[in-house]
């Protein structure tokens, strides 16, 4: 009987020991789980949508690979000087490269905003895309995927950047040539995202006679893309991408819109036969965009929609003139973003 009592006591002691050991393990585990929150170290990356997961040091530059329906897209960023959340999207031109956004090497855009509290967002790629959602891959150059640039710029990219603390609702967008109309389109149809838009030498009256043919030639010249894969001739997409048509949607939006005179200026100094030819082409294209922009100006005036207009006395279709217009837009951009 006494032996049974000793055995019973021993089992009770072991049971208490197990419970005590388990309680200690649970306590240590709980402390370990709460430590990252108290000392500021993340034990594992947060899931998308769970809040900010990363922040590059304010004012730094970084290349990001952003997931999209088109595959990973490279996006070059220059982070806001003081860690602010507003951003300026700088869209590339018709000849956009796959390795770098031309704003980073054709202009001093990075230096213009390096002391400002706004993040520069510069997507890479999109040659001849017009930054639209295409209906199918281009069938004239073996493209393996379908351009979905509006989806990327209005949803996938801002969702990704939100994990870095970049606002999804306080952004500006600027584009030149091909992307001038795209900048206005994005702002017109995504007013919750963009508070300012700028077009430099853009095609702003795409429905004008001859414009679709001109766009067809340009897309074939740059990458052999077929615009029928972007939108068939009868598609309403052509109207949706035309600023002249959707102008009413821009009411209340601060805008800076410019085009040169097509006359050679301070940045045109052709020193060879090839350079003379290129300057002539740049003059011709700028003459078309000037007509488009003046037509668009008349359209906005008829609707009573204000904008900042810039028509320099000289200027061809080239980067240094767009660099100057970006600088002219800078204070307007910062004011619209309250940055």
Q: Which residues are catalytic?
A: 177, 286, 317
The residues pairing with 197 across neighbouring beta strands, listed in sequence order, are 173, 255
* Burial of 207 (C-beta count, 10 Å sphere; 0-12/13-18/19+): middle
End-to-end CA distance of the chain: 85
* Burial of 189 (C-beta count, 10 Å sphere; 0-12/13-18/19+): middle
Check if the beta carbon of residue 179 is closer than 8 Å to that of residue 101.
Answer: no
SS3 62: strand
Q: Which two tokens stand for residue 161?
A: 């950047």
Q: Of 78, 98, 81, 80, give the one whose Cα is nearest residue 90.
A: 78
Alpha-carbon distance of 226 to 238, in angstroms, equals: 14
Q: Which two tokens stand for residue 86?
A: 């507003």
């Amino acid at each position: 009987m006494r032996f049974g009592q000793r055995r019973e006591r021993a089992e009770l002691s072991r049971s208490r020991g197990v419970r005590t050991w388990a309680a200690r393990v649970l306590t240590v585990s709980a402390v370990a789980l709460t430590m990252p929150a108290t000392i500021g170290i993340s034990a594992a990356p947060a899931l998308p949508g769970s809040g900010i997961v990363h922040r590059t040091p304010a004012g730094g530059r970084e290349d990001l690979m952003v997931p999209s329906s088109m595959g990973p897209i490279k996006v070059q960023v220059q982070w806001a000087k003081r860690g602010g959340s507003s951003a300026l999207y700088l869209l590339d031109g018709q000849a956009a490269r796959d390795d770098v956004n031309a704003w980073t090497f054709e202009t001093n855009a990075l230096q213009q905003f390096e002391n400002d509290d706004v993040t520069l967002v510069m997507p890479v790629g999109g040659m001849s895309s017009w930054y639209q959602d295409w209906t199918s891959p281009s069938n004239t150059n073996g493209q393996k995927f379908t351009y979905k640039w509006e989806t990327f710029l209005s949803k996938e990219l801002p969702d990704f950047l939100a994990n870095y603390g970049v606002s999804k609702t306080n952004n500006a967008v600027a584009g030149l040539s091909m992307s001038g109309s795209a900048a206005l389109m994005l702002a017109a149809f995504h007013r919750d995202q963009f508070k300012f838009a700028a077009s430099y030498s853009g095609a702003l009256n795409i429905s004008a006679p001859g414009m679709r043919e001109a766009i067809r030639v340009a897309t074939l010249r740059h990458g052999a893309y077929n615009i029928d894969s972007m939108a068939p001739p009868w598609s309403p997409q052509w109207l949706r991408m035309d600023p002249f048509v959707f102008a009413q949607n821009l009411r209340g939006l601060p805008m800076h819109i410019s085009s040169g005179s097509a006359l050679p200026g301070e940045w045109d100094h052709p020193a060879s036969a090839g350079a003379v030819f290129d300057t002539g082409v740049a003059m011709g294209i700028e003459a078309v965009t000037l007509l488009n922009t003046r037509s668009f100006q008349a359209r906005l005036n008829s609707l009573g929609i204000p904008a900042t207009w810039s028509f320099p006395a000289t200027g061809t279709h080239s980067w240094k003139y767009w660099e100057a217009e970006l600088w002219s837009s800078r204070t307007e951009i910062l004011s619209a973003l309250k940055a």
